[in-house]
Chain A
Amino acid sequence: MSDHTTQAASAAGAADADLTRLTAVEMADRLAAGTLTSVELTQAHLDRIERLDPTVHAFLLVDAEGALATAREVDAARAAGEELPRLAGVPVAVKDIACTQGLTTTAGSRMLEDFVPPYDATIVTRLRDARMPILGKTNMDEFAMGSSTEHSAFGPTRNPWDLDRIPGGSGGGSSAAVAAYLAPLAIGSDTGGSIRQPAAVTGTVGTKPTYGAVSRYGIIALASSLDQIGPCARTVADAALLHEVIAGHDPMDSTSVDAPVPDVVGAAGTTDLAGLRVGVVREISGSDQGFQPGVQARFEEALDALRDLGAEITEVSCPHFAYAMAAYYLILPSEASSNLARYDAMRYGLRVTPDGSPSAEQVMGASRDAGFGDEVKRRIILGTYALSSGYYDAYYGQAQKVRTLIARDFEAAFDQVDVLVSPTSPTTAFRIGDKTEDPMAMYLNDIATIPANLAGVPGMSVPSGTADEDGLPTGLQVLAPAMQDQRLYAVGAALEARLRERQGGYVIEQAPEIEVRA
């Protein structure tokens, strides 16, 4: 670990540090009280981004002008006495997987390097309706395929806790932005853990809501039946506020759930878990899966804390979780191979024209070869194979059966307990470059997070401390039955409060100040 003298950083950093270190709740309160303007707050974040993001590389695009324009409108509206949404004026960063009208949206791919969407994703519309200045678009593994952000075509994002380490993935940009105080809130997407695993390794909070709870319209699809959008934040209460903004039925998404949004904001005020039944899933609890000792130790402590808070801890078994990884790496590539077929250079995106007078097919081939990175190609090939006639039943069909069994495991478990818990990620943040040559090692990062996507149930990662051996953050994953997202916030908030009590602050506050690199 680097020493903490860098906290002295620079005098230039002092001014923005005060405002950016507030929680989103505090920001919203001060804005509402009139003791802070959105322009000041937004500018503080933009200044910090300008100073630190060349080092962290959390953003692929910063829209200072757009963010400040929204901030000015909010300030004017407030001055005029207009009633405003709770998060009006609080800036937010958006993963580059969500289409933003007029703002380049790349999904971390060369293929879409110059793609400017003509429309907003539904969640972006909701952010605009909530009057939140959008700071910019955050880095990610190409088309959300990865667990480290190293598969971004535009270079990796660095973990604010240790710049030589990965911030998790695929949504490493969003988590790093929040962890580095470049944004108080960010949007992530989670197909197999892409919100939760980055949250765990950056000491932040991330929620994957129930499948269908948040609209996917305008979100660049990886695997349609697994993708879900969710909030990234530094505190559970902040995450709940953003969750409330983006959740809710959308007629543009057929898989969107038409039901009231659970009271996540109310649940985020929970301090007591008396009578709550918590299940430890044997298959992903880490005790015999070779999870890192520091991760394991913080998990055990978190269980003790939950017990202290009144929860009743029991062990449950979900036997089919053992097959989750195998099923996931058939379903995801299958759907992805079809979802990514549209990138053919015909209507938008990168076009590479081979010499001579090439056919449309040759232009498609050359463009896809140049536009997609290795991990994307690997999964397209895998998925194309798995869906091929003669193999469909053995692969895709079989994987769907496993998926059903995993959903039944969850149902059986939730008959016995109210929530399930596990370590979010088997290890703390690994070093950049450590696993890029070994796809299987990379895939295993998501072993605990994947089952929730297969079953569509909600999950959250909340900081559980730092590992003794490397001082890096660890996360507790909480899982709840579908449409019971508020339970995640209740458990997360209570644990967060208990850790704050013991340690005198949020886990993220232990992160060192970032040393600017040339």
Chain B
Amino acid sequence: MSTRTTAGPERTVAYDDLLTRYEPVLGLEVHVELGTATKMFCGCATGFGAEPNTQTCPVCLGLPGALPVVNRTAVESAIRIGLALNCGIADWCRFARKNYFYPDMPKNFQTSQYDEPIAVDGWLDVEVPPREGVDEEPFTYRVEIERAHMEEDTGKSTHVGGATGRIHGASHSLVDYNRAGIPLIEIVTKPLTGAGERAPEVARAYVAALRDLLRALDVSDVKMEQGSLRCDANVSLMPTGVERFGTRTETKNVNSLRSVERAVRYEMTRHAAVLDAGESIVQETRHWHEDTGVTTSGRPKSDADDYRYFPEPDLVPVAPTREDVERLRATLPENPAERRRRLQEEWGYSDLEMRDVVNAGAVEVIETTVAAGASPAAARKWWMGELARRAKTAGEDGGAVDLLDLGVTPAHVAELDSLVTGGRLNDSMARQTLEGVLAGEGTPTEVADARSLELVQDDGALQGAVEEVIAENPDVVEKIRGGKVQAVGALIGQVMKKMRGQADAGRARELILETLGVQG
């Protein structure tokens, strides 16, 4: 058996250079760990980070005699994911056994769907952000989905004693079966062609869009760094003008969005170098190294890998009724991208404003604030202004915190806005009030009450002050009557002083001019 070790980086060619000669074809396989309370085929807990082998039972340890029972919630999540990806849902499908020996697989077969997946033939539109200085508009790409199917995760092997933490050279291996049997959904794209130079960005945008979608569906915590969302990237190149796909490699261990883009880009440059030299790509799995930014050879993989699939005889078919599917369809959240478009229109934000809101992760908080009664403009003004500024340094160590961790709720902001629009507070009073809310002094109304912040609404008191000021400033009055209306400012200032700032300056102006019988 040939174990090829990579001593140094392999040959690559410049990215821009390869695009003149090759067209990339991608295939993305995303594994999502579902956030169900129990495993796919048994009642064991699924929490992350428990002591090794404490979340196991006869079923997920593959003990003699144990039998699987399908997790209903996992099936429902699979159907919801399929629907959200615009897939057709099978009215009858089965699990199969994928047979191969590996110590982290307790039964030495993985119970997985094979030729009868729960969801087939869908799509997801992804938006690749414009490149600074290059594009005006974002680039939209429709990712065709081949299938989404259900399967179970394997245990987790830790190889001890080797230099790399991989099995080669290890003295022994430890297996944690807590992960064995966690429900997984595998989402497989059709070959993605025609993205050209944007292919790495499309790959990243797709995984990002999928992550947003899965989060909106509330089916997984989609944490790439914890492995609850994993992406295997299949990459091949075909010479420009050729119709037949090239030999592909499958890159694993891609644990962040950035890595998805980098790994695809790297593989493209490596493939091009191999092909340029007149050599052939070895069909194999590749291992991505985040630190060095390269992939290394994994195990050879061929289409002839024989897993001896056959229908799992210990399970009965999954047969969702039309009613089941429609009931689940009714629970689907709005597609995140469509939702953003709709909200932008409803809120009347510019593209730039909306992008800032999205980038700040403030879409939900603004939506809730607007729902609580604030105007979209006010909601944006408070959250993206004063509050965003404070959130940047509100952490214990002076670092950033989430907007919602500031202690101000969307309801508070809406209340603050209504105090301003209702005429009780002016802008500077509103800022003082917010200060009090941030200090934990209560709701905006409570803070305003406690701090006696209120524009005087009573024209009687204001009128009294106006008359006093008019009587005290005959010279200014003379100027105004003489046509220098702008001189009213001096009187307003004095009125505000008498009112200790708690008056509406605009109303004071009106009353002064009214009293003097002068047209504003």
Contact = CB atoms under 8 A, between A and B. Distances in A.
* Same assembly: yes
Interface of A: 98-99, 105, 107, 112, 115, 117-119, 121, 216-221, 223-225, 251-255, 334-335, 337-338, 341-344, 346-348, 357, 360-361, 364, 384, 387-389, 392, 396
Contact of A347 (B62, B171, B313): B62
Contact of A117 (B63, B67, B108): B63
B107 interface: yes
Contacts of A107: 64
B308 A342 contact: no
Given A344-B101, A347-B61, A338 B308 contact: yes
A250 to B, nearest CB: 9
B352 to A, nearest CB: 55
Given A117-B65, A337-B99, A392-B308, 15 more contacts: A99-B65, A117-B58, A117-B63, A121-B65, A218-B66, A223-B313, A254-B67, A254-B69, A254-B314, A255-B314, A337-B308, A338-B308, A338-B310, A342-B106, A384-B308
B314 A115 contact: no
A225 B313 CA distance: 6
A217 B66 contact: yes
A320 B238 CA distance: 52
A169 to B, nearest CB: 19
B231 to A, nearest CB: 27
B312 to A, nearest CB: 8
Interface centre among A107, A112, A117, A360 (most CB of B within 10 A): A360
Q: Which 9 A-B pairs have the closest CB atoms?
A: A341-B108, A387-B308, A224-B313, A225-B313, A218-B65, A220-B64, A342-B62, A99-B65, A342-B107
Contacts of A121: 65
22 contacts: A99-B64, A105-B64, A107-B64, A115-B64, A117-B65, A216-B67, A217-B67, A218-B66, A221-B64, A221-B65, A224-B314, A252-B67, A254-B69, A254-B315, A254-B316, A255-B313, A255-B314, A255-B315, A334-B310, A335-B310, A388-B308, A392-B310
A395 B38 CA distance: 37
B109 interface: yes
**Residues of A contacting B: mostly:** loop
Contacts of A388: 306, 308
Interface in B109-167: 109
A99 B61 CA distance: 15
B70 interface: yes
A251 B63 contact: no
A334 B317 CA distance: 19
A346 B308 contact: no
A396 B64 contact: no
A115 B61 CA distance: 14
Given A334-B310, A388-B306, A346 B103 contact: yes
B307 to A, nearest CB: 8
**Residues of B contacting A: mostly:** loop
B265 interface: no
Contacts of A338: 97, 99, 109, 308, 310
Given A119-B63, A347-B62, A389-B304, A396 B106 contact: no
B68 interface: yes
A396 B62 CA distance: 24
B110 to A, nearest CB: 11
Given A217-B66, A388-B306, A119 B58 contact: yes
Contacts of B69: 251-254
A392 B107 CA distance: 21
Interface in B69-110: 69-70, 97, 99, 101, 103, 106-109
B314 A389 contact: no
Contacts of B107: 341-342
Interface of B: 58, 61-70, 97, 99, 101, 103, 106-109, 171, 173, 175, 304, 306, 308-310, 313-316
Contacts of A105: 64
Contacts of A347: 61-63, 106
B99 A387 contact: yes
Contacts of A335: 310, 313
A392 B64 CA distance: 26
B101 A254 contact: no
Contacts of B304: 389
A342 B108 contact: yes
Contacts of A343: 64
Contact of A253 (B58, B64, B67, B308): B67
Given A344-B108, A387-B99, A220 B65 contact: yes
Nearest to A97: B65
A22 B476 CA distance: 126
B97 A344 contact: no
A342 B308 CA distance: 15
Nearest to A220: B64
Contacts of B306: 388-389
Interface centre among B97, B306, B314 (most CB of A within 10 A): B314
Contacts of A255: 313-316
A99 B64 CA distance: 8
A47 B219 CA distance: 60
Nearest to B303: A389
Contacts of A357: 171
Nearest to A119: B58
Given A252-B69, A344-B108, A389 B308 contact: yes
B67 A342 contact: no
A217 B173 CA distance: 31
A251 B306 CA distance: 33
A217 to B, nearest CB: 5
A348 B67 contact: no
Contacts of B173: 360
Contact of B310 (A219, A360, A396): A396
A118 B103 CA distance: 21
B155 to A, nearest CB: 10
A328 B69 CA distance: 26
B101 A361 contact: yes
A246 to B, nearest CB: 15
Contacts of A384: 308
Contacts of B64: 99, 105, 107, 112, 115, 117, 220-221, 342-343
A392 B308 CA distance: 8
Nearest to B53: A347
Interface centre among B62, B64, B68, B175 (most CB of A within 10 A): B64
A501 to B, nearest CB: 43
Contacts of A218: 58, 65-66
A254 B310 contact: no
Contacts of A360: 103, 173
A341 B171 CA distance: 25
A119 B63 CA distance: 10
Contacts of B308: 337-338, 384, 387-389, 392
A112 B65 CA distance: 12
